Amino acid sequence: MAAVQSHEDSDENLYPIAVLIDELRNEDVQLRLNSIRKLSTIALALGVERTRGELVQFLTDTIYDEDEVLLALAEQLGNFTPLVGGPDYVHCLLPPLENLATVEETVVRDKAVESLRKIAEKHSSAALEEHFIPMVRRLATGDWFTSRTSACGLFSVAYPRVGPAIKAELRNMFRALCRDDTPMVRRAAASKLGEFAKVMEPDFLKDELLLMFVDLASDEQDSVRLLAVEACIAIASLLNDEQRKELIKPVLVNLIEDKSWRVRYMVAEKFTEVHTSCDYFLGLQEVGIPYGVRRIYLLKPFRERL
C-alpha cells in the first residue's frame, strides 16, 4: 500500500512538470515564455541527473523561437549551475548557450555571452581547457559573423586560467578577429580589446596587443575606429610613461584629428578618461609645463574641429 502511495505521489509531483514541458512546445508564445521563466522549477522537480540528461538536451535541440523567449532562456541558463549538479557538471550548459550565442538577434547573443561569462567562472582550469576553450574556438572560427562577434566577449574570462600554449592560441584567434573581413566582428573585437588587455601578460602588450590596437584604430570603418578610443584608454593605463609617449601618442593624435566626426566625438566624450590615462602622451609634463597649460594644449585639436 505504501509503495502504491509513493508511486502516486511521484506521479503528482511530475504532473505539473509535464504540463510545463508541454508549454515549451505550445504554439502560444506567451505560454512558452511563461514556461521558460519557470525552468528552475522544472529543474528542481526533475533533479540534477534528469535536468542534465533530459531538460538541457531538450533546450539544446529546440533553440528556434521568438527572440523574447530566447532572451529569457539565455538569462535563465546563466543561473543553472546548482540545478545541474554544481561546477563539476556546469559544462553541460555550454551547448544551449553556444547555440544562443549564434542567433541573429543581438540582445539574445549578448545575454548568452553574459551567461557564458558567468558560468566560465564555475569551471575549473582543466574543465575550461577541456570544454570551454573548444567552444570559443568554434565560435571564433564559425561561418556566420554572429558567432564570431560573440566569441570576442569570451577571451578575457578564459585567458587568465589556461596554460601558455592555449593562451598563445587565444591571442592568435583574437588577432584574427581584429582583422576579420566583417566590420561587425572587428567592432566586437575593438569593444573587447581593453578588457582583454587587462588580463594579458605585460610581455605581450607591446609585441602583440598593441599591433591589434593599431589595426583597429586605423580601420577603414569609422564605427570600428571610434571603439578603439575606449581600448586606447584601457591600454594606456597599463603602459609606462615612455611607452605611452612612443606608442599611444601617434595613434591618439590621429583619432583626435580623424576625418570622421563620430570618432572625434567619441574622443571628446571620453576626454576625461583620455587625459587621466594619457597624461604624459604629449610629453609636456617633463619639460615643466603646468597642468592647466597641458589641458589647453590637449584641447587645441578639438577647438580646431568646432
Comparing CA positions, the residue from 153, 134, 72, 149 lying closest to residue 104 is 149
Using 70 as the pLDDT threshold, list the residues of the chain that sit under it.
1-18, 20-21, 63-64, 277-306
Of 134, 107, 111, 112, nearest to 123 (Cα)?
134
Architecture of the domain delimited by 15-122: Alpha Horseshoe (1.25)
Report the distance separating Cα 192 and Cα 194, nearest Å: 6
Using alpha carbons only, give the angle 132, 134, 135 rounded to the nearest 5 degrees.
65
Structure confidence at residue 26 (pLDDT): 75
pLDDT at 268: 83
What is the pLDDT at residue 286?
A: 42
pLDDT in tens, 63-75: 667 888 899 999 9
Task: State the residue for C-alpha cell 589641458.
Answer: 295
Average pLDDT, the chain: 83
Cβ proximity of 159 and 119 under 8 Å: no
Q: Which residues of 249-279 are buried (b: 16+ CB within 10 A; e: fewer)?
A: bebbeebbebeeeebbebbbebeebbbebbb
Predicted TM-score of the model (pTM): 0.82
> What pLDDT, on a 0 to 100 scale, did the predictor assign at position 166?
96
Give pLDDT, residue 306: 54
Please tell me the distance from the alpha carbon of residue 167 to that of residue 157, in angstroms, as a whole number. 12
- pLDDT tens digits, one per residue of 2-34: 444 444 444 445 555 667 667 777 778 887 888
Find cell 559573423 and name the residue: 145
Q: What is the pLDDT of residue 54?
A: 84
Q: What is the pLDDT of residue 304?
A: 57
Which residue, chain included where needed, has cell 551547448?
A: 95
Residue with C-alpha cell 540545478?
83
Residue 169 grid cell: 592560441
What local confidence, expressed as pLDDT, does residue 27 receive? Answer: 78
Domain residue limits, the chain:
15-122
